[in-house]
């Protein structure tokens, strides 16, 4: 009997989850098993998440996207968050991270896992203060691990845990002044706990204890980047790279215990640094799947950061990133609403698909070729059907209908698609 997907893969066992992923990705099942065995693909699938339709994240697979949601003290509408969950599933996100940090977090988390066929992630550090009802400084090591175990028992498929920011890296942050310090919420909480208690990061010091929990439930650890850059000024600095080296070391320790790993990455980063950072992660972390937030390629676009993120995400994924965390127009400003979430998902899906074309993922170009064929035929119903957001495409079409239905109001009778089709068919042409 195997303990985790990685354990099964190493034993030569093909699990039902592997079969589903191989069929969905159109990849040879034996190749997929090998990729899972050597850690280059993760299939986050907690044994307790019975409604899950598993997805693979990593090498030779489609780029996946994650949606963040959850309640805060200022915005605590659980019904709205559940509506977001259903919308994210409808819009074909592959993962949802519940970042709730206030109120009845377990009740919402359990409901989310119960109804969701897509993988669920959490950041237990966010939940610690609320769940334990204690000031951060007073939380004990045992209590931190009790929160992790609670999330695992509830069925969470992957957890972001900032294991790599040890005291040495924390000192590096203090000695190398950043413009934006530590912008990771979980990372900043851990940094504060370490400073207030003059202790080592418990998830680093007692890493084997974390592995015990994750092996038991087959939870994938998403090794959090506490030192990710929060501005393009801070990218690729000493703290970020030092933490990445530590994450690579922790990756090998997890694999030795058959615990699946993903590595989290930047953040904010200028375009010209992205490709090199993807190569660094793959090299230093031994080819483990890479999960990036953005990267946001400029800091000056609040209200449009779904665009800055999509630009960086497409470049990152084309150069090796495997998993994109969406960013909404509300980033840096407020908790996103339903419309913000949709804009963020569509932007991230465009970035992921563009990268899959560049990576040569089998079948990625087929969708584009079908759309181009529909355009050549001036077939607007088919174009709308194929659109990444059919609802918006239909709305734009219906808001401005042309005189001739087989054109649009941009070109009218001068439509090059329509006219080229007529000329090549030997038909008469009148554009008056």
Q: Residue ranges for the binding site for [4Fe-4S] cluster?
A: 408, 411, 415
Give the Cα separation of 355 and 313 in Å (integer). Answer: 8
Q: Is 300 helix (H, G, I), strand (E, B) or coil?
A: coil
DSSP state string for 207-270: HHHHHHHHHHHTPEEEE--TT--SSGGGTT-HHHHHHHHHHHHHHHHHHHTT--EEEEE-SB--
Question: CA torsion 39→42→46→49, rounded to 10°?
Answer: -170
Give the Cα separation of 199 and 163 in Å (integer). Answer: 14
Q: By the 8 A CB rule, do 260 and 43 touch?
A: yes
Q: Is 331 helix (H, G, I), strand (E, B) or coil?
A: coil
Give the Cα separation of 48 and 68 in Å (integer). Answer: 21
Runs of H (alpha helix) within 94-184? 105-115, 124-132, 141-154, 167-175
Residue that is written with structure tokens 């080819």 in the block: 287
Nearest to 305 by CA among 347, 353, 266, 269: 347
* pLDDT < 50 regions, the chain: none
Q: Residue ranges for the binding site?
A: 68, 97, 126, 162, 184-186, 225-228, 264, 268, 291, 332, 408, 411, 415
Tens digits of residue pLDDT in 134-162? 899 999 999 999 999 999 999 999 999 99
Count Cβ atoms within 10 A of the Cβ of residue 317 and give its class: 0-12 exposed, 13-18 middle, 19 or more buried. buried
DSSP state string for 38-99: TTSEE----TT-TT-----EETTSPPEEEEEE---SS---HHHHHHHHHHHHHTT-SEEEE-
The pLDDT assigned to 100 comes to: 85
Q: By the 8 A CB rule, do 313 and 351 touch?
A: yes
CA 314 to chain centre: 13
24-52 in b/e burial notation, b at 16+ Cβ within 10 A?
ebebeeeebbebbbbbbbbbbbbebbeeb
Give the Cα separation of 274 and 311 in Å (integer). Answer: 11
Which residues share a beta bridge with 58?
A: 41
Give the Cα separation of 367 and 155 in Å (integer). Answer: 34
Both structure tokens of 297: 């390629």
> What are the percentages of helix, strand and coil residues in the chain, rounded to 5?
50, 10, 40
Give the Cα separation of 323 and 56 in Å (integer). Answer: 10
Q: Residue ranges for the binding site for Zn(2+)?
A: 268, 332
Q: Residue ranges for the binding site for substrate?
A: 68, 97, 126, 162, 184-186, 225-228, 264, 291
CA distances from 185 to 162, 420, 422 (A): 10, 56, 59
The pLDDT assigned to 432 comes to: 67
- Which domains, from first to last, does the chain contain? 64-359 (3.20.20.540), 364-424 (no CATH)
Give the Cα separation of 65 and 354 in Å (integer). Answer: 13
| pTM: predicted TM-score of the whole model, two decimal places | 0.94
Which residues share a beta bridge with 291?
A: 264, 323
Q: Determine the number of helices (DSSP H) and then strands (DSSP E) in the chain.
A: 19, 10
């Amino acid at each position: 009997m195997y303990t985790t997907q990685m354990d099964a893969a190493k034993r030569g066992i093909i699990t039902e989850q592997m079969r589903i992923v191989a069929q969905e990705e159109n990849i040879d099942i034996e190749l997929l098993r090998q990729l899972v065995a050597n850690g280059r693909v993760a299939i986050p699938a907690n044994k307790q998440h019975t409604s899950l339709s598993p997805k693979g994240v990593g090498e030779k697979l489609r780029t996946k996207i994650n949606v963040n949601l959850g309640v805060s003290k200022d915005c605590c509408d659980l019904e709205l968050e559940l509506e977001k969950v259903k919308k994210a599933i409808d819009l074909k996100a592959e993962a949802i991270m519940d970042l709730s940090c206030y109120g009845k977090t377990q009740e919402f988390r359990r409901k989310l896992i119960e109804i969701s066929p897509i993988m669920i992630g959490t950041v237990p550090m966010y939940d610690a203060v609320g769940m334990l009802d204690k000031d951060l400084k007073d939380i004990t090591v045992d209590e931190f691990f009790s929160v992790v175990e609670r999330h695992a028992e509830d069925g969470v498929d992957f957890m972001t845990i900032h294991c790599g920011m040890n005291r040495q890296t924390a000192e590096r942050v203090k000695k190398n002044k950043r413009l934006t310090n530590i912008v990771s919420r979980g990372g900043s909480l851990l940094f504060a706990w370490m400073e207030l208690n003059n202790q080592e990061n418990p998830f680093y010091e007692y890493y084997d204890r974390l592995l015990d929990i994750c092996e038991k439930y087959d939870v994938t650890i998403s090794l959090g980047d506490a030192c990710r850059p929060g501005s393009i000024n801070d990218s690729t600095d000493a703290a970020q790279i030092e933490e990445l080296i530590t994450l690579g070391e922790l990756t090998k320790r997890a694999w030795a215990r058959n615990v699946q790993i993903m590595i989290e990455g930047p953040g904010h980063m200028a375009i010209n640094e992205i490709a090199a950072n993807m190569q660094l992660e793959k090299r230093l972390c031994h080819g483990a799947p890479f999960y990036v937030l953005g990267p946001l390629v400029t800091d000056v676009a609040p209200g449009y950061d779904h665009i800055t993120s999509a630009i960086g995400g497409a470049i990152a994924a084309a150069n090796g990133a495997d998993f994109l965390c969406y960013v909404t127009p509300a980033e840096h400003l407020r908790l996103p609403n339903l419309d913000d979430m949709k804009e963020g998902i569509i932007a991230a899906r465009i970035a992921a698909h563009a990268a899959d074309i560049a990576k040569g993922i089998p079948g990625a170009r087929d969708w584009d070729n079908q759309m181009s064929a529909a355009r050549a035929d001036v077939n607007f119903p088919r174009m709308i059907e194929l659109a990444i957001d059919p609802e918006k495409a239909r709305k734009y079409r219906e808001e401005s209908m042309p005189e001739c239905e087989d054109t649009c109001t941009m070109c009218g009778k001068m439509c090059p698609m329509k006219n080229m089709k007529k000329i090549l068919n030997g038909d008469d042409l009148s554009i008056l």
